[in-house]
Amino acid sequence: MPMTSLPAPEPVKAPGSGRADSGAGTATHCPYCALQCGMRISATAAPGGRQEISITPRDDIPANAGGLCQKGWTAGELLTNGARLTTPLVHGEPATWDDALDYIAERIRRIQAEHGPDAVAVFGGGGLTNEKAYLLGKFARVALRTSQIDYNGRFCMSSAAAASIRAFGMDRGMPFPITDLAAADAVLFAGGNVAETMPPFVRHLNAMRERGGRLIVADPRLTATAKSADLHLQLTPGTDLALALGLLHIAIADGYADEDYIAARTTGFEAVRTSLAAWWPERVERITGVPVAQMREAVRLLGTARRAMVLTGRGAEQHAKGTDTVTAFINLALALGLPGTEGSGYACVTGQGNGQGGREHGQKADQLPGYRKIDDPAARAHVAAVWGVDPEELPGPGRSAYELLDALGTPAGPKALLLFGSNPLVSAPRAGHVAERIGDLELLVVSDLVLSETAARADVVLPSTQWAEESGTMTNLEGRVLLRRRAVAPPSGVRSDLAVLSGLAGRLGHPDGFPDDPRAVFDELRRASAGGVADYSGITYERIAAETGVFWPCPAEDHPGTPRPFLDGFATPDGRARFVPVDHRPAAEDIDEDYPLYLTTGRVLAHYQSGAQTRRIGPLVQAAPEAYVELHPDLAERLGVTAGERLRVVSRRGTAEGVARVSGAIRADTVFMPFHWAGRASANQLTNAALDPTSRMPEFKVCAVRVERVA
């Protein structure tokens, strides 16, 4: 068991007021979100051969500067939890590592011999280190020769990435240091609830507001973040795009557009200006439910601020029109002259721990290391040279995450899946259907630290090391490459994902090129990324340690890194940002007589992602023991519902249950469920798998449901 004297969760503090870093223990980073808060870990021997883990925050990492959230404080329990897997399982029975890896390799050879290379697929996680993400992509394309690889980061910020690339020529979630937020005079945050998802982030917003800055939050719920805002735009779920168009219409009509900036640093503005004629404020109010007066006030606050920022989160992005929605918010930021301006800008607030680095270096179906496009001949030639293979041997683009899961076990789809660090039976949309697809596989292999809901269905389960038991780099939401250091020894019988990939590659005829040493993998990653958009070639473990992180791109060891990449120009051929005309369209599934309510989903403070880790930590389970259904008092009265009773939420795809939480913080036409629970409480049994045509992001954030009382 972990030591019982873990510190209580620390409230969010303003920068500079966090606990001092004592310097004791191993300096590393939190295992959860993309802030990658700095912490120190100390381990001491306890009776019975156990380890007692203590955690203290570091004050040298700007993202958290001495603070941690409840999940960070209790992260030590992940290392000592009795639910840890410590031996491989083959069809539920303990096995040796050699037997398990031999079995996997033999099944892969047989399946590919019968059905071809693409019959074996790989699915990764947004929490894997850069080294793991890189080697996983190389393993898929060289050892397996399959195009079928993607990762759960596709469900995180792929829409914002696609929008940023077409506007700026480059996707780096936050193209400025997080500390720049404190100096802003106004911030619009669309669809983000950082007070619960990454609490130390709030200290930067608080510092801004303490200086007199103003915070505007657009969200269907009065979330903990919205409660702290100066202005809350409580829109109808699925109408973020219409809201952004209305705000931009007002900005131009009321004279807040920065004409000099637009002329000097952008292209395409006139086409966008023309496209806005139909989005007058009164029409937008009817669609979104946001009063015209509030929209005008939001634009005034942004337009009169000396420094302003527009941020988007999953609430605006996880839609079948998420790329266009983010594009509309980027258009607003460009019209106001914000991106690439000191102290101002647009940013996507990345969610998963390494959602940024995970796609930069090869887990994504259409990308090679360095954020290179897999169908670019020059990119293929460069990476193939590093890997020592012929470029013609590299497969082309594969299926995106949900499309990959949807194809599993079908006649034309993969027959085997190797899954690292993800739990799609809980985290994927239309989860019941995904479970059926996984059930039709000939081989499912899961590498994880606990027996997640997906691992419980696997033919082979491989027990993996976790965050503090291995070294490796992570890229946080700022684009800052950080070093996680090994702080404790893993349990006997546990291996790293790098060792798993190395062992499998050797058995599949590739004894070289797949080292299990993270530093060796990172050195190869540096070479593979050189010259790419996400160039890590000048970043070393030593530099990261000395500088507490290095911003990419960093093309040489004497290069300082790039905290603000757009100050001198954008990553487009002409150096100008691109306005892109977009138009609002309804949600893929609207409410009707049978399903009269909107469902929106999200996270809660105590839990993370599918809950596979946090639902095994006592203090977090005590803080949030079960799923709930949040509904407005008027809706509760209409349904005859009282707080605390069990409710069933029904969509066209499935049902989920939770206890009623009656709250005026939500719209009367909307219900909310957190998505961290499994089984009958799984919100993703309900969600819609409709995909964005550009990013292939599913529409997690809105679908039509009805609510029933459970007898």
For residue 554, give the nearest of 574, 571, 580, 532 by alpha carbon: 532
In the chain, the percentage of residues whose pLDDT exceeds 70 is: 97
Q: What was the pLDDT predicted at 393? A: 96
Let me know if 338 is exposed, middle or buried by CB neighbors in 10 A (0-12, 13-18, 19+): buried
Asked if 88 and 28 touch (Cβ cutoff 8 Å), the reply is no
Is pLDDT above 90 for 14?
Answer: no
Is pLDDT above 90 for 45?
Answer: no
Asked if 228 and 194 touch (Cβ cutoff 8 Å), the reply is no
Cα 415 to Cα 492: distance, rounded to the nearest angstrom? 32
Is pLDDT above 60 for 7?
Answer: no
- Mean pLDDT, residues 77-99: 94
Return the percent helix, strand and coil in the chain, to nearest 5. Answer: 35, 20, 45
Is pLDDT above 80 for 42?
Answer: yes
Angle CA 32–628–34, to nearest 5 = 15
- Of 5-14, 266-275, 479-488, least confident by mean pLDDT is 5-14
Q: What was the pLDDT predicted at 18? A: 34
Is pLDDT above 50 for 16?
Answer: no
Cα 313 to Cα 191: distance, rounded to the nearest angstrom? 5
- Of 357-361, 539-543, 569-573, least confident by mean pLDDT is 357-361
Q: Which residues contact 407 (CB under 8 A, 6 or more apart)?
A: 399, 413, 414, 437
Sheet with 214-218, strands from edge to edge, namely 231-233, 214-218, 186-190, 308-312, 345-348
Is pLDDT above 60 for 288?
Answer: yes
Cα 9 to Cα 29: distance, rounded to the nearest angstrom? 17
**Quick one: tokens of 510?**
């590739």
Is pLDDT above 50 for 605?
Answer: yes
Let me know if 82 is exposed, middle or buried by CB neighbors in 10 A (0-12, 13-18, 19+): exposed
For residue 547, give the nearest of 479, 487, 480, 485 by alpha carbon: 480
Is pLDDT above 50 for 3?
Answer: no
The H-or-E segment that residue 43 falls in is strand 38-46
Is pLDDT above 60 for 55?
Answer: yes
For residue 157, give the nearest of 363, 332, 318, 370 by alpha carbon: 318
List, as one string, the DSSP characters of 531-591: TSSS--TT--HHHHHHHT-EESP--STTS---SSTTSS--SSTTS-EE---------SS--
Q: What was the pLDDT predicted at 538? A: 98
Please count the residues of the chain: 711
Q: Is the pTM of this model over 0.85?
A: yes
Give the domains, in start order, of the chain with CATH numbers.
Answer: 1-82 (no CATH), 89-154+354-551 (3.40.50.740), 158-349 (3.40.228.10), 597-709 (2.40.40.20)
Let me know if 644 is exposed, middle or buried by CB neighbors in 10 A (0-12, 13-18, 19+): exposed
Confidence of residue 13 (pLDDT cuts 50, 70, 90): very low
Confidence of residue 5 (pLDDT cuts 50, 70, 90): very low
Q: Which residues contact 4 (CB under 8 A, 6 or more apart)?
A: none
Q: What was the pLDDT predicted at 117? A: 98
Q: What was the pLDDT predicted at 290? A: 98
- Mean pLDDT, residues 484-489: 94
Confidence of residue 378 (pLDDT cuts 50, 70, 90): very high
Sheet with 443-448, strands from edge to edge, namely 93-94, 89-90, 460-463, 443-448, 416-420, 120-124, 149-151
Q: Decide: helix, strand or coil at residue 699.
A: strand
Mean of per-residue pLDDT scores for the chain: 94
- Mean pLDDT, residues 132-158: 96
CA dihedral 109, 113, 114, 115 (to 10 degrees): 90
AA identity, residue 289: G
Is pLDDT above 90 for 187?
Answer: yes
Give me the half-sphere count of Cα atoms (radius 13 Å) on the Cβ side of residue 79: 28
Confidence of residue 15 (pLDDT cuts 50, 70, 90): very low
Q: What was the pLDDT predicted at 648? A: 98
Cα 607 to Cα 548: distance, rounded to the nearest angstrom? 27
Q: What was the pLDDT predicted at 477? A: 95
With both helix axes pointing from N to C terminus, report the angle between 322-335 and 240-253 in degrees, rounded to the nearest 10. Answer: 20
Cα 339 to Cα 171: distance, rounded to the nearest angstrom? 13
Is pLDDT above 70 for 11?
Answer: no
What does the longest C-alpha to C-alpha distance in the chain come to? 73
Is pLDDT above 60 for 8?
Answer: no
Q: What was the pLDDT predicted at 80? A: 87
Let me know if 457 is exposed, middle or buried by CB neighbors in 10 A (0-12, 13-18, 19+): middle
CA distances from 398 to 375, 691, 711 (A): 11, 16, 46
Q: Which residues contact 113 (CB under 8 A, 6 or more apart)?
A: none
Confidence of residue 23 (pLDDT cuts 50, 70, 90): low
Is pLDDT above 90 for 10?
Answer: no
Q: Strand ranges (DSSP E) for 139-250?
A: 149-151, 186-190, 214-218, 231-233
For residue 30, give the nearest of 198, 171, 157, 193 by alpha carbon: 198
Parallel/antiparallel/unpaired status of strands 646-650 and 89-90: unpaired
- Of 504-508, 524-528, 544-548, 662-666, least confident by mean pLDDT is 544-548
